Amino acid sequence: MIREQGEVADRGGLVRVLSDGALAGPVADGRLIPVLVIDTAGRPDIRELVRQHKHFSPGDAKHRWATSPEDEDLVVLMLTFDRPSEVDVVLAFSIEDEGILVDAIVRCGMVYLQPGTERSRVSTTVGDPKVLVELPDTGFGPYWDSLFEKRMANVIAAQMKVSSGHAKSRAKEIIAEMRQVTSLRIGV
Amino acid sequence: MGGTAQQLFDLLSIMISVVAVLVSLGLGLSSRRTARRALRISERAEARLMPHFDLYLQDAAVWTSPRDATREYGVHLRITNPTDLPTAVVVAELHISYSRADHTAAVKVPTANAPQFVGDIDTIELPRSLQANDATSGWMIFHVPEELLSKTDVQRYDLEVRDVHDVIRSVQILMFPEKPHAK
């Protein structure tokens, strides 16, 4: 079960993220927008949504972030597309392994979804169809900041065998350094 | 003599009671009918204050571009507002359900702002206001690029219209006869 900041939701129909990257361009004033290559082998509806988007843009989509009381490393992004067709996409992320990716998505407020295969890489499939999803702030930002920091501190404390105070300050440093990269603007 | 008078008095009392009961029953039934009629009138008046609109499909047609297979689907509608509330039609979409390769899908096509090759017809531009007890009619055009429906089997067309009160009405469209495009 997933808790969404006080609510509980089912985790079903997860779509795997195969690889990720970032694109910059005039869309967001040169900001790097995260790109998620997702496994749509069993989801022809997602592939069809991306195909439809080529002709009917912008569409309508809602999103919600969720965490799990049973797994402190898990954060979930639930997307509900309404137009041009009705499709649900649920993406799960490991904070330890993909925290910086989630951080980039939360801070940028946008993400590209690109149907792909195991071999797809963003750098080699730049021209492939993808859909840009806007994720307006829902108040998850501050909650995410503290969650990210806490999880990274726990990981550092466990791996480096240091005190929690030291791990916490080290986690803040690491996160700040990573954010310097993800907040780059190109061509502006 | 006294006994006879008493019997007569008792009989008269009973008769008066029966008449009184019958009159009360009659009055009660009449009041009940009146009350039910008043309730129906009140409910109809109440309904006129609830947001509502009706759709009537008058015609449908499809025009194909002279250059490629892009199509413009047209729906001629009459939209009526039978209530005492003003409203406005704000969204209209053509929902196309189709099958493609190994799956079925649906797409919501928004109204086209400016038909490209339909020609000169009266279109309903959105949002369209409707005053109380008002009606409007005209065409709504939906532009469908050739590539979207190529290699698909269309299963169904539905038109969905929404007003400013979030009331939704839909109508299935069984066929779109082809019409010549504007030259």
Residues of B in contact with A131 (CB under 8 A): none
Which is nearest to A14 in space by CA: A71, A76, A90? A90
Residue B127 near residue B145, CB atoms below 8 Å: no
- Rounded to 10°, the helix A140-160/A95-108 angle is 150
By CA distance, what is B106's nearest residue in A?
A85
Which is nearest to A59 in space by CA: A28, A87, A27, A82? A82
Residue A110 near residue A134, CB atoms below 8 Å: yes
Structure tokens at A187: 């061509």
Q: Residue A45 and residue B147: Cβ atoms within 8 Å?
A: no
Measure the CA–CA gap between B166 and B135, rounded to whole angstroms.
Answer: 18
Q: Which of A48, A56, A83 sits opposite B105 (nearest CB)?
A: A48
Q: Is the pLDDT of residue A44 over 70?
A: yes
Q: Residue A44 and residue B101: Cβ atoms within 8 Å?
A: yes
Residues of A in contact with B101 (CB under 8 A): 44
Q: Residue B103 and residue A85: Cβ atoms within 8 Å?
A: no
By CA distance, what is B94's nearest residue in A?
A84
- Rounded to 10°, the helix A164-182/A140-160 angle is 120
pLDDT digits (tens, 9 = 90+) for B87-139: 999 999 999 999 988 789 999 999 987 777 777 889 999 999 999 999 999 99
Residues of B in contact with A44 (CB under 8 A): 101-103, 105
Measure the CA–CA gap between A136 and A39, rounded to whole angstroms.
Answer: 25
Which are the contacts of A57, defined by CB distance < 8 A and separation ≥ 6?
none
Q: Residue A84 and residue B101: Cβ atoms within 8 Å?
A: no
Measure the CA–CA gap between B84 and A33, rounded to whole angstroms.
Answer: 50
Q: Residue A55 and residue B105: Cβ atoms within 8 Å?
A: no
A7 pLDDT band (50/70/90 cuts)?
very low
Say how many CB pairs under 8 Å bridge A and B: 32
Q: Residue A48 and residue B147: Cβ atoms within 8 Å?
A: no
Which are the contacts of A180, defined by CB distance < 8 A and separation ≥ 6?
none
Cα-atom radius of gyration of chain A, to the nearest Å?
A: 17
Which is nearest to A31 in space by CA: A122, A104, A129, A140? A104
Q: Degrees (nearest 5) of the Cα angle A93, A76, A125?
A: 55
Q: Degrees (nearest 5) of the Cα angle B106, B107, B112?
A: 155
Measure the CA–CA gap between B92 and B112, rounded to whole angstroms.
Answer: 10
Return the residue matching tokens 């009159």: B23
Which are the contacts of A149, defined by CB distance < 8 A and separation ≥ 6?
A168, A171, A172, A175
A187 pLDDT band (50/70/90 cuts)?
low
Which of the residues B68, B94, B108, B160 would you substitute to probe the A interface, choosing the one with the greatest number of A C-beta atoms within 10 Å? B108
Residue A60 near residue A82, CB atoms below 8 Å: yes
Q: Which of B100, B103, B108 sits opposite A84 (nearest CB)?
A: B108
Structure tokens at B66: 């002279």
Measure the CA–CA gap between A98 and A96, rounded to whole angstroms.
Answer: 6
Residue A124 near residue A71, CB atoms below 8 Å: no
Question: Mind listing the pLDDT tens digit of every residue in chain B (183 residues)?
Answer: 567 888 898 899 989 888 888 888 888 888 888 888 998 888 888 888 889 999 999 999 999 888 877 899 999 999 999 999 999 999 999 999 999 887 899 999 999 877 777 778 899 999 999 999 999 999 999 999 989 998 899 999 999 999 999 999 999 999 999 988 765
Q: Residue B105 and residue A85: Cβ atoms within 8 Å?
A: yes
Using the Cβ of A56 and the Cβ atoms of chain B, whether some distance falls under 8 Å is answered with: yes
Residues of B in contact with A55 (CB under 8 A): 145, 147-148
Min Cα–Cα distance to chain B from A84, Å: 5
Q: For residue A69, give the DSSP letter.
A: T
